[in-house]
Amino acid sequence: MNLFRLAGDMTHLVSVVVLLLKIHTIKSCAGISLKTQELYALVFAARYLDLFVHFVSLYNTVMKLVFLASSFSIVWYMRKHKIVRRTYDREHDTFRHHFIVLPCLVLALLINERFTFREVMWAFSIYLEAVAILPQLVLLQRTRNIDNLTGQYVFFLGAYRVLYILNWIYRYFTEPHFVHWISWIAGIVQTMLYADFFYYYIISLSSQSIFQTD
């Protein structure tokens, strides 16, 4: 554990808290892509298959449980909650997310660290996480009207990935034989997808022309 890893985990956690705050308090999921949330739920389900068979630390276990519970609860809110589901923008959230799941699975079968079920599922979750934000970014681009909480949610997600890249750089220079090409390449791809959003987010902080207050 280092400062970059801890900051990345906390930033990721903040993004989830921001989203749950929007959904639970305001009773609205406007501007949030259900497709992205379903992909994240699948990411965590595939990645944390070792939850009850491989103990690393209490911190690690708690974080896994938090992300699993939060991702599935968000999907439930958007699909089943009688008030929240009415605010879901089905008209614009039309990205065909199912078509990116199979390529990620095929890639995981071909490129993995070890050809075992858990390792293939871990690689699958890494590849899928890299592109899971695509439906959300497409939705924001289509609507062009983003409230503060939605903008902050996506910003913190992107910041979490940037901090994780810094964590990898730090570990590469401080830990012998620390090489994880799968995570590195997927993480860089994921961060690049946020580049356009970051640009407009920073511009909006000064102009307030794109983002509106709740």
62-87: pLDDT as tens digits: 999 999 999 999 999 999 999 999 99
Predicted pLDDT of residue 205 = 66
- Range in 97-106, 138-147, 151-160 with the lowest mean pLDDT: 138-147
In the chain, domain spans:
3-212
Residue 198, pLDDT > 50, answer yes
Q: Does residue 34 surpass a pLDDT of 70? A: yes
Half-sphere exposure of 117 (CA within 13 A, CB side): 3
The pLDDT assigned to 208 comes to 57
DSSP 205: H
As to burial, measured by CB atoms within 10 angstroms (0-12 exposed, 13-18 middle, 19+ buried), residue 158 is buried
pLDDT of 197 over the 50 cut: yes
Element (H, E) at 147: strand 146-147
pLDDT at residue 212 above 60? Answer: no
The answer, yes or no, to whether residue 190 has pLDDT greater than 70, is yes
In the numeric block, the tokens 């199979």 are attached to: 102
Contact 47/125 with Cβ under 8 angstroms?
yes
Mean pLDDT, to the nearest integer, of 29-56? 94
What pLDDT shows up at residue 207? 62
